[in-house]
Amino acid sequence: MCNTRESISMMKNKPLVVDLDGTLIRSDLLIESWFAHLTSAPHRFYRPFLWLMRGGKAMLKTRLAESTNLDVSVLPYDSAVLEWLEDERQTGRPLVLATASDERYAQAIARHLKFFDQTFATSGGVNLSGERKRDRLVAEFGDKNFDYAGNSHDDVAVWQSAARAYVVNPSAGVERAARKIGNVERVIESRPSVLATLSRSLRLHQWLKNLLILVPLLAAHKLLDAPLAVAALLAFLAFGLCASSVYLLNDLLDLEDDRHHPTKRKRPLASGALPILWGLALVPVLLAAAFALAVFFLPWMFSLALAGYYVLTLAYSMFLKRHVMVDVVTLAVLYTTRIIAGSAAIATHLAFWLLAFSMFIFLSLAFVKRYAELHSMLARGLAKARGRGYVADDLPLISSLGTASGYLSILVLALYIQSSNAAQLYRNEQILWLVCPLMLYWVSRVWLITHRGQMHDDPIVFAARDRVSLAVAALCGVVFWAAA
């Protein structure tokens, strides 16, 4: 009994040293600061490569920390680890933060959490990881005179000199390597299943937007043409893969902005549910798969449209979305690009009426998206949108521009019904006029819901889940069928 008490006492007197990336937080500050730098200065994207070549990882981390300003208060801290550390702190045990991240971020995190007695981090040109971290801790506390919590292969060297090892959400093979040392005290597994969060990360529900690729097939009355239908479906899949790649890249670029948003902070990358390295790896894999489908199975014009969509989306993610009005027009163009790509996939003539209707209706929905974001921001007592150029006073103008765009799309539809194009495709084109009051009702209702603050972050997702919107779409389909 006495030996047990002495063992517990000795354990409490030993400092508990905690790693940062992947242990205390479900993220990697090197990658986060790299993307923060890229977002703030995209024209200087080459600088991190120069820093890495000139001074290695230590200089890279220092320069990135100097050129960025991450808000440590919203980092994805592991709640299970925080609770454990708080319990250890209550027993009077010294807590130490030891990380290969830059000293600037380590000190800021220590000040924010307020329970670390000491902090060791990368500084003075020394990258504090692996054996360097072990040597620093041994010099400070002595061999086998500290406990250590980590998660990666770099931590194995530190565990060899630690009295007890705590393995937190280990990378592949790390737990096995730690157990070979023979001092594993506890394994903490608190991360959600990666596969369970993968579909949310890819935003498969957003693939609904890519159904616009099928619009030219429907407009040309060639839905039952098997070769064209297969081509359209392949185009849908290619656009879906490309869009998911862009969504992941956008989430990586928007990590900090998303963490300040009431709902976007729950996204897998922002919350740490999906490892940041997974997101980084999936971006090129999905993009390569999308273009492989386009190049090998579809007309070259579709590949060109897909490339244009990707470049424009990348420009939007990097800087266009931060410019007032440019962002909403870009969103409308991106939606319309899907229709252009659909036409290219089946090699059919692209109708001017369809493009004009698409631009106006999706410009209206882009304004709906911005209005909903500003309304939510105003409800939280904020005056300016983070990462956007809009302020609360812009709400009336956005509302008027958005409703005008929606009604203009219906005017274009009405002019199309009266045109010779409609007469060639429909036997009873007069029946198509019934679509106009249905669309007038739908646009007006969408804006009324938005004005009341009840709109989803994404109006397309809202429409896909809203029973009234689905009913209006079904009625429009019946009208077009009857007219044909």
The answer to whether residues 60 and 48 touch, using CB atoms and an 8 Å cutoff, is yes
Quote the tokens at residue 216. 């030219």
Q: How far apart, in whole angstroms, are the C-alpha atoms of residue 42 and residue 46?
A: 9
What residues does 90 pair with on adjacent strands?
none
The overall longest dimension of the chain from CA atoms, in Å, is 98
With cut-offs at 50, 70 and 90, classify the pLDDT of residue 15: very high
| Rg, Å, the chain Cα set | 28
- The 10s digit of each residue's pLDDT in 311-327 is 999 888 878 888 889 99
The answer to whether residues 81 and 150 touch, using CB atoms and an 8 Å cutoff, is no
In the chain, the percentage of residues whose pLDDT exceeds 90 is 57
Q: How far apart, in whole angstroms, are the C-alpha atoms of residue 410 and residue 472?
A: 14
What local confidence, expressed as pLDDT, does residue 191 receive?
A: 82
- The 10s digit of each residue's pLDDT in 445-473 is 999 999 998 887 788 888 888 999 999 99
- The 10s digit of each residue's pLDDT in 226-282 is 899 999 999 999 999 999 999 899 888 888 888 887 788 888 888 888 888 888 999
DSSP count for the chain of H helices, then E strands: 22, 6
Cα 112 to Cα 68, 75, 77, 107: the distances in Å are 18, 11, 12, 9
Q: How far apart, in whole angstroms, are the C-alpha atoms of residue 213 and residue 340?
A: 8
What's the pTM value of the predicted model, to 2 decimals? 0.81
Chain mean pLDDT for the chain: 89
Measured in whole angstroms, how far is the alpha carbon of residue 347 from the centre of its chain?
Answer: 33
Under DSSP, the state recorded for 262 is T
Please determine, for residue 6, whether its predicted confidence score (pLDDT) is greater than 50: no
Residue for token digits 């921001």?
377
The answer to whether residues 359 and 367 touch, using CB atoms and an 8 Å cutoff, is no
Cα 325 to Cα 92, 229, 376, 377: the distances in Å are 56, 36, 19, 18
Quote the tokens at residue 350. 């692209």
Measured in whole angstroms, how far is the alpha carbon of residue 389 from the centre of its chain?
Answer: 20
Q: Which amino acid is at 309?
A: Y
Q: How far apart, in whole angstroms, are the C-alpha atoms of residue 370 and residue 394?
A: 10
Q: How far apart, in whole angstroms, are the C-alpha atoms of residue 31 and residue 35?
A: 6
Kindly list the structural domains of the chain, giving each domain's residue range(s) and its CATH number in brackets, ordered by start.
2-188 (3.40.50.1000), 194-483 (1.10.600)
Cα 15 to Cα 2, 96, 189: the distances in Å are 22, 7, 22
The answer to whether residues 264 and 250 touch, using CB atoms and an 8 Å cutoff, is no
Highest mean pLDDT among 21-35, 188-202, 266-280 belongs to 21-35
In the chain, the percentage of residues whose pLDDT exceeds 70 is 96
Residue for token digits 């990658």?
31
